[in-house]
Structure 1
Amino acid sequence: MRAILVSRHGGPEVLEPADLPDPVALPDRTLVEVTAAGVNYADTHRTDGSYRAAPALPFVPGTEVAGRTADGRRVVALLFPGGGYAERASVADADMVEVPDGVDDATALALLVQGLTAWHVLRSSARLRDGETVVVGAASGGVGSVAVQLARHFGAGLVIAAASTAEKRERALRLGAGVAVDSDPEGYAERLLEVTGGRGADVLLESTGGATLTAALGGLAPYGRLISYGNASRQGRPPADFGVLAERNTSVAGFWLKPALDMPGGFREPLRELLGLVADGRLVLPPGPAYPLAEAGRAHADLLARRTTGKVVLIP
């Protein structure tokens, strides 16, 4: 089968097409003919070797696949530590869910990592309560576009979208955000305080890291919670000043999806809920670009350069 192989760590240039043996059927696993594979920021970290659980070289990247089983079922599945950038994949039965009619492959793939991340940061980490004010950073991105809608669905009183360009802020408003602000670190906290009448946000979802994370802390309300679930800037997560946090009883929590999925009820139940919301038209995911499998390197390059919106997928 055709697949993408990473034989050395590096940038998009190390993603090379290769001919590999088909995966072997094993107990409690299902062979899936891949119709689309999802691309995530975490894939770029695995490729350059900076991911906290980077697979050993050589490896086939990709933790998300949509496809069909031998008996004709449409499924979407997670693959840890990888193997999705290929024509076929062997997936654990426990990590696979059937896709309902009316949900396309790209949308189903977007729900696996981006959708489940948005669900868990709001439900499991932030423990959002009715009427609270939520700031969604990178609000037009993969996780952000879902989180804007889920926050409203989960009962947020006000959803504030933060994004770097006017176009991205407008897109988030169309998805249901009540107000949008510029996420530039310079003046970020002041803008959040302004749109909340000086109170600040109860929940702030942050995936950029670096200066943006530091600035966001000043926009929290008393007892506000900042959930850091990414580091797109690659500037690192600065250490928290606990004295500053204590001044307003604010808190900072980190989030990683993998252990959340391993918790009882952490994978299939929320994923089926998300698939149902899409099938019912209550959750809309913006379309994203599709690349041929052999152009995985170009897909990574465009993702890293922030030239994409919506879910990025590879088509074998």
Structure 2
Amino acid sequence: MKATGQQPGVRIVKEELLSDNWYILKKVTFEYEKNSDQWETQSREVYDRGNGATILLYNRKKQTVVLTRQFRMPTYQNGNETGMLIETCAGLLDKETPEESILRETEEETGYRVDCVQKVGEAYMSPGSVTEILYFFVAEYNEDMATGLGGGLEDDQENIEVVELPFIQALNLVKSGEIRDAKTILLLQYAQIHGLLKEKTNSLHILIAGPYRSGTSDDPVLIEKNVQFMNEIALQVYETGHLPVLGEWYALPLIATAGSTSLGDEVFNRIFHPSSIRLLDHCDAVLRIGGPSQGADEMVKVAREKQLLIFEHLEDLPPVTQP
């Protein structure tokens, strides 16, 4: 190989079209200048699918990112049992600038119309066989930018699920291998390294949702164990800097004061679950813990409808920056 700064000579000898069914696959025969001015004839298959752009949407206030989830046949053919991948929004350039393309793709796939984007880099993603250059962008989003549900274009046979995740959970999914798409890993690590979401300083008011009566057959000892478990989790949440709350803390004293005489009586049912639903209006997030529980699952469902954050593990809670 020639010394740094000197470019090797390349002479294209022949290009053969192998396929243009979807994009363009060629066999390129070329002469390559090696050491001592020697030339060697080589052949490579080159896949030209155009260039693309990808974007990470992030929200500092909510400490969330917006990703997508969709089926990818090539991964299904190579070890991905379901073929589903979690990815950043992305698309090919369609006679547009990278910025124009990613603004369009963002609205089509995620349902958010962002005002401006920041380019953070560009890279060849598979230079051994694919010509594509991918342009990387980031942009902050909020709920006021929502114009629809996203999901991609039906005409393009796109079936895209929009996934809003706490940023720390997305990073944990990279660590666990559940996120294994290169562009997504690069953008999430960029956001982490450059502190894009660091401005969060306020603690979250987090409702702890777990089994209360579920799996106990209304045995008071087992119910007390469930409550104790939730209290212990609440303490750990508090020690992270957030403000935990249990629906039971509010509901049980009210139920006793209202004259309930047994679990599941009319007074209990009138207050227990409805008071927790009302409490959600004053919370920022739900932490779902423990085993099966119809009531806890209902809390998560309502929280999603209210667009609250949903956490499933303590380690997914965002750090609180103390003043």
Q: What range is the shorter-chain TM-score in?
A: under 0.3
Give TM-score scaled by structure 1 length.
0.26
Give TM-score scaled by structure 2 length.
0.25
Q: Which has the higher contact order (CA 8 A, sep 6+)?
A: 1
